[in-house]
Structure 1
Amino acid sequence: MSDVLLQSACILLEFKITMEIAFVRPVAPFNRYIQNVPLNYIHLAAHLRQRGHKATILDMVVEESTDDVDQYLRSNNVGLVGIGCMTCELPDALAEARRLKENHPGIRIVFGGAHPSADPEECLRSGVVDYVVVGEGELPLAALLDALENGRHPQGILGLWSIENGAVRGNSSAAIPNVEELPMPAYDQLDLNKYFQLDSPWHFPKSKKAVQYVSSRGCPYHCSYCHTIHGKKYRGMSAAKVVDEIERLVIAHGVEELMIVDDIFNFDLERAKDICRGIVDRGLRVHLQFPNGVRGDRFDEELVALMKRAGTHYMAVAIETTSEKYQNLIRKHLKLEKALQTIQWARKYDIEVCGFFMIGFPGETLQEIEQTLDFAVSAPLDTIFISLVSPFKGTVLRTDMMNGRFGDIDASGVAALEQLFPTVHNEAVPIETLQKLQRSAYWRFYLKPRPMLNLGRRMTNWSNVKKVSRAIRRRLAESRISSLN
């Protein structure tokens, strides 16, 4: 009898080992911003580790080949693979999932991220995806692994979609974790030295030893062009927790620069100030940049001064449009005068500022577009980035278009939305005209003395020369790759 029990225990243990999850990141040529730490995977891996599960990260961007991935999966009897993707990464994610299914019969694939959250059914009907996590992944992934390890059907897990016998089983969005209780992301599971060697796509880091970092999730604003994966409730970690994690990155991992990529770092001004004070008070020597865009009209001069003292050398301000009509239509409601004041404070404290702009909203006239571009060219900015509007799946903008908020949409408009890089069909200002206006604005801006001198000062090493050359090519020749989601 004891032999039978022992044998059963061994079988159960073997089954649990096969339920280790491996996060695989394929190379995605359309996404330059993949040349960085896989931030989503290290957040998920840390939480799963805290819950007693084993999670491995296999990153094909820095080292693993398909052969390396296959060997690891076979050697460790891995039964579940997670792949996250944005829309521009979807073809590569599906191709890797298909390859894994062919090479590892019986393996299960779970997708997550911006695109799968926006259209889980599309992913599930591909024939190579078993589950999709809609929303934040920590809680549903842990519940999925719990169920699989114990031989239970994972039905009813909030945020987990699945497909069985051709029928898609939907669910609500994932439960939202308390960010204060989440463990520090698993940077320790990565060889950061390999990421330090990557040609970072972000704005000219002061140090090669740079990684991304998130201190909050969610944004209470309702800009219709943005993703909603983190919901519309702001959840910021306490300043003490943030500074503790930054200190650990600096001291234990040798990080010298952080790209803080919160959706809205400065929503809670006092928290933002306390984070900056904490960095200064602890004597942490670290450079900071905010390349994901901060809310331009939620600043005061004290915050800008503290950001500079804490090591900030660059931030992006998302303005998008100077048209009050379109500020309302896209639900951004930015106070342009306050954003301009923030830009002027940043210049006072020697923080470089990039302005984000978007052109080609549904029904936008040539005059309204030129108004935005004239502001972009004339504002006291150091760099600008002009995107062509892309109504990605899952955005309120896309829903608004289909529901007539911007007027009727015809067959040509629907067809434009169904591309990998969706566009807005506007006969009055076609895509070709938008691209010409975009290129012209770049020339007008970067031929001004200040931006030209700024770029000239950057040409101090081959890495920066390549970065500038790549930026010129993307802005002047590849405008269809204009925004990512």
Structure 2
Amino acid sequence: MNTSPHTLLVNPTITSRSSARFPLSLLHLAAALDRHGRSTVVDGNVDRDVVDATLRALDVDRFDAVGISVMGGPQMAPAIAVSRAVRERHPGLPIVWGGYFPTLYTDTALGASYVDYAIRGQGEETLPELLAALARPDRDVSRIAGLSWKDTDGHLVHNPNRRFTMDDPGVVLPYDKLGDPRRYLARTFLGERTVAHQAAIGCRFRCTFCGVAAMFGGTTRLPAVARLDRDLTYLKHHLGADSIQYVDHNFFDREEDMIPLLEVMARHELPWWCYARSDALLKLQESTWKQVRKSRLRMAYIGAESPSGAMLKDIRKGTRPDQTLEVAELCRRHGVIPELSFMVAPPENTEEETEQTFEFIRELKKINPAAEIIVYVYTPLPETSRHEKDRGKRPSTPLRDRHGQPVVFPTTPEAWTEKRWVDYACHADAPWVSDDLRRRIRDFVTVLRCRYPTVQDMRSPAWAKRGLSAMASWRYRRRRYDTPWELNLANRLVRLRLPQASGL
């Protein structure tokens, strides 16, 4: 009889089956768990009835715990449904939540009766240690770093944070746990078989609005050259991937550390997409840009955030508006498409800042018409959700809704499933945004995306995109964004892709 710990890892549904990408966080956990036990993965993005798939897995095998990855937004409701179903069918089975939501809102997660443990930050060491502790007679979890739990009286206990690490498992991730991993390869503008991969982890910057900063506390780790080479060899030659979507939190770090990795990528010649910062790209020498071109970088997602230097300083972004303009031109010269994201409707000077952002976007499109633009609503994290090293530093002005009342964040997972809070987590709306401004933002985005259809749209025919661009040109030229009824009507037929909603 096999007595090694067996863990069921669940990725609740968060996207459509066609947009499903590798559940990389669970694969990293599985690799760590399998060193001293076993693991099984259920991916709700592929197994569409994630509750049924989870219960079926529990019925056919013995498990010592269920680990559920939870991100705020549309993943909350299925995460709750899975947890409740497991608790009802297997009341004694420990349920562990991990990921961004329990890291940022630990007390809220643990307040639910169906959550026994919450892992803050990385779980590759915390979860195996928890499984080992639960197997001992005393079940003592008090010394496990990065873990939050409930004592016998129901009080919440938060163990000290765990130090950030990045170990090389020596092998590729256990993709076979997903069945046929090739079904996760997708047709995108990068290639016919694009694969998602994470090379580096974390980000050294401390933006106050960013969940990555809250989780990793300004720390980052790059992979060893041998590891990246091994992973790309497997993805290209075993799975047949012809392009890569790097979901690193911030791909370009210090130039001297990046050069060996770019050399590996240049040898594999897989077109790629990544997250990047304008200041990092502007610092690259021409010799490094030569390697970037050889590695076939196609698009870089760059957080421009705002045309206001004061706001960029307030949110600790560390970049300047002029760098955004410079990087748009730099990318144009090197054949890289900059995908620039902006946060409109901040709590202060809401309408003025929004209109200034619209004008700044127009300036960017003059410099580089190929630049892609993503528009979000600015939704800062609560002070209590920031990393412990950042709490109290440059605190934001207390948030108030459009009626002047203080913004009160939800205190239960169920409340986070309300549409207004799902929208907040997805940077789609905020309590201080008026109906008129919400409509103004929506209309501007409609005119902009019709005038400049995204290159990422592989579904809409070229003639339709050209027609929409022509229809929107007069509105864009004259700044007539309000009520673009004809574009909304045409969009019902063409249905242009929205990168901020569906990504690659």
Report the TM-score when normalising by structure 2: 0.79
Alpha-carbon offset, residue 137 of structure 1: 0.5
Matched residue type, 2:442: R
Paired position in structure 2 for 1:382: 371
* 2-structure distance, mates of 1:441, 1:398: 38
Alpha-carbon offset, residue 113 of structure 1: 0.5
Alpha-carbon offset, residue 444 of structure 1: 4.4
- Pair 1:333 & 2:311 matched: no
Change (3 A) 1:397 1:59: closer
Matched residue type, 2:497: A
Paired position in structure 1 for 2:333: 348
1:82 aligned to which of 67, 75, 81: 67
User: 2:400 touches 2:431 (CA, 8 Å); kept in 1?
Assistant: no
CA-to-aligned-CA distance 1:170-218 (integer Å, 9 cap, x gap): 2122332234567543223222122236xx7xxx343342222112122
Q: Which moved more, 1:347-356 or 1:132-141?
A: 347-356
- Pair 1:185 & 2:167 matched: no
Change (3 A) 1:406 1:111: closer
Matches within 5 A, 1:9-48: 13=2, 16-17=3-4, 19-28=5-14, 35-48=20-33
* 1-structure distance, mates of 2:100, 2:7: 20
Q: Which moved more, 1:80-89 or 1:186-195?
A: 186-195
Change (3 A) 1:365 1:122: closer
User: 1:416 touches 1:424 (CA, 8 Å); kept in 2?
Assistant: no
Alpha-carbon offset, residue 63 of structure 1: 2.9
* 2-structure distance, mates of 1:134, 1:62: 26
* 1-structure distance, mates of 2:198, 2:24: 9
Paired position in structure 2 for 1:420: 421
CA-to-aligned-CA distance 1:291-337 (integer Å, 9 cap, x gap): xx311111224444422321221121110001011011111121333
Paired position in structure 2 for 1:435: 438
- Pair 1:105 & 2:91 matched: yes
* 2-structure distance, mates of 1:482, 1:362: 26
2:237 aligned to which of 234, 242, 251: 251
- Pair 1:91 & 2:73 matched: no
Alpha-carbon offset, residue 219 of structure 1: 1.4
1:270 aligned to which of 252, 256, 266: 256
* 2-structure distance, mates of 1:424, 1:55: 39
CA-to-aligned-CA distance 1:352-381 (integer Å, 9 cap, x gap): 221100012221343332222211133124
Alignment RMSD: 3.5
Alpha-carbon offset, residue 118 of structure 1: 1.1
Paired position in structure 1 for 2:224: 238
Change (3 A) 1:71 1:365: closer
SS in 1 for 2:21: coil
CA-to-aligned-CA distance 1:98-149 (integer Å, 9 cap, x gap): 0111122321110001111112221122100111101100010110122223
Paired position in structure 2 for 1:216: 200
* 2-structure distance, mates of 1:460, 1:286: 26
Q: Alignment identity in percent? A: 22
Change (3 A) 1:453 1:112: closer
Change (3 A) 1:257 1:149: farther
CA-to-aligned-CA distance 1:254-277 (integer Å, 9 cap, x gap): 222211111111112233232222
1:143 aligned to which of 101, 123, 129: 129
Matched residue type, 1:185: L
Alpha-carbon offset, residue 152 of structure 1: 4.2
Change (3 A) 1:453 1:396: closer
Paired position in structure 1 for 2:145: 158
Matched residue type, 1:295: R
Matched residue type, 2:331: A
Alpha-carbon offset, residue 240 of structure 1: 3.6
SS in 2 for 1:415: coil
SS in 2 for 1:414: coil
User: 2:460 touches 2:496 (CA, 8 Å); kept in 1?
Assistant: no
Change (3 A) 1:75 1:467: farther
SS in 2 for 1:317: strand
- Pair 1:115 & 2:85 matched: no
* 2-structure distance, mates of 1:303, 1:453: 28
Change (3 A) 1:75 1:446: closer
CA-to-aligned-CA distance 1:135-166 (integer Å, 9 cap, x gap): 10001011012222344412320011112342
Change (3 A) 1:403 1:332: closer
Paired position in structure 2 for 1:478: none
2:164 aligned to which of 148, 166, 176: 176
Change (3 A) 1:56 1:457: closer
Paired position in structure 2 for 1:471: 497
2:43 aligned to which of 39, 51, 59: 59
* 1-structure distance, mates of 2:149, 2:405: 31
* 2-structure distance, mates of 1:453, 1:67: 37
Q: Which moved more, 1:385-394 or 1:135-144?
A: 385-394
Alpha-carbon offset, residue 436 of structure 1: 2.8
User: 2:199 touches 2:248 (CA, 8 Å); kept in 1?
Assistant: yes
User: 1:43 touches 1:184 (CA, 8 Å); kept in 2?
Assistant: no
Alpha-carbon offset, residue 80 of structure 1: 0.8
Q: Which moved more, 1:254-263 or 1:164-173?
A: 164-173
Total equivalences in the alignment: 446
* 2-structure distance, mates of 1:22, 1:131: 15
* 2-structure distance, mates of 1:28, 1:187: 19
Paired position in structure 2 for 1:459: 460
Alpha-carbon offset, residue 470 of structure 1: 5.8
* 1-structure distance, mates of 2:17, 2:53: 23
- Pair 1:323 & 2:308 matched: yes
* 2-structure distance, mates of 1:457, 1:81: 38
